[in-house]
Chains A and B, each alone.
Chain A
Amino acid sequence: MRSIIKTPLAALAATTMLAGTAFADGHAALSGTLRIMSDMGNPAPRAVIESLAAEFDEMHPDLTVELDIVDREAWKTQIRNALSASPPDVVNWYAANRMGPYVDAGLFMDISDMWEAGDFEGLGAVQGAMTLNDRQWGVPYTYYQWGIYYREDIFNELGLSEPATWEEEVANCQVIVDSGRACYSIGTRFLWTAGGWFDYLNMRTNGFDFHMALARGEVEWTDDRVRQTFANWRELIDMGAFLADHQNYSWQEALPFVVNGEATAYLIGNFAVPHLREAGLTDDQIDFYQFPAITEGMAMGEDAPTDTFHIPSGAENVPAAQEFLRFVTSAEVQTRINGPDALGQLPINAMSEVADDEFLQQGFDMLANNATGGIAQFFDRDFPAEMAALGMEGLQEFMVFPDNLDDILNRLEQSRQRIYE
């Protein structure tokens, strides 16, 4: 990331740092090369990581920051090679059980001492998502809420309001189906979208703690409580609530159905909002509500997937990598990189400001005040990789052939006994 303009800027950075002597002292030692390998390959995230790397480079005159950006999907399979052969100093990944294989293989550095020393002020709420085997293995840098994004104008046209209970949700859906639309758009071709539905239905039916116990393999898939979740799901399937032929579409291919009004709502992450806006929907036409309660009095659990930075065990410039983690998680940087003109998501630092955006504000409020059950990562991040893959395939099959449920659950139960042993 060395550039021609580096020298004057570095000088400027040095002078500003002189103002805070303690600050400058703590960082003067950083030298050598910091190699960052990032999966922030989409346009907006790419701009963010590039500017972060450039800024960090300027802050530390003796340090050269090298940045490699990899396609986000490709990184999911490339990370294992990157970590084992000449690992970089900082990498991107995901929180919770998705860290499992790399933690177990000793490829992520244990940074519990940094967490204990209070290096990450304001991150207390997200520490759990970074914890495996009672140790911390990285830091988060952004997260986003899941929930039901819906066509406000169609709801108004049909005289519907945001439901808070399952009965209201089902009654709303009946009105929508009767008007010739599907209630929920969904594309299950790549399976994981069905995982979102299961997460919410299970957390609302049986609670967050039960859902996590299932993820840890402590509950049988054939348990009656799990069956109750599927029974609730089936209620919607039998009504014709879901978009037909959803097994053919990716989540992006299911978006046009919301845009052209053939489906009125979409259970998805906040990353769908920019696409809906680009497709021409105004903020008057789309709105957001929290997945309604099913079992009365059950504390609400929410999915809020968190993206992370880690230091590989084989990192060469550990001090610089540690400083980079402190840098990206600081309140000021968090506010900036999660802003509407950057990632457009939620900052993980409690002292940061949430962007002035209808959906981010609602999501932040929901996660801060009405997610008392707990915050989950997502089906494929909370369940071990193999269970997640088999599980999501079963969920898709259930959505297409609900009558196969017994067979699906027996199969998943067999796999559970093998995978968690």
Chain B
Amino acid sequence: MASYNTSDFRKGLKVQIDGDPYLMIECNFVKPGKGQALYKCKLRNLIRGTVLDRTYKSGDSLDAADIEEIAAQFLYRQGDQFVFMNNESYEQYELTAAQVDDAWKYLKEGMDCSMILFNENPLSLTPPNHVVLKVEYCEPGAKGNTASNVTKPVKVETGAEILCPSFVEMGELIKVDTRTGEYIERVKA
């Protein structure tokens, strides 16, 4: 397995500790002039999100985490399982609701997403930045009100609720920013 020596340590390094993948979010080099070099690191567990403080001395090494980003298509949802397919290998992955996290709100069948694999297993999923969703249900808007500062929740085809301007109607298509969950604009069919 590939490994990183302390002289390779820097912010952004992806390493493996006790079987879990970690992102080095801070690495502070400390060295008394005539003494031993220490690397005081903060590492974020990429599965659990917890942060670990670890000190290393020069000459130590950490295993590199086998992390790969792939393009994967969302196939279908089956209860709490979300099924994706690797666009290159056609291999299928089943992700839990926890792994999919907020992305479920935007997943439409056939949608291309970006997936992070750790040791060839899915770690996380990112939908495209912008998705177009159909409004399944909403309260009717006040006639003639085109102000965008008056909002209402609308239910879209995935079952998620998105806050939209009050002029949005049932059956319309809306573009949503998946990073913020915010409505951007109406889209013509």
Say whether A and B bind each other: no
Residues of A within 8 A of B (CB): none
Residues of B within 8 A of A (CB): none
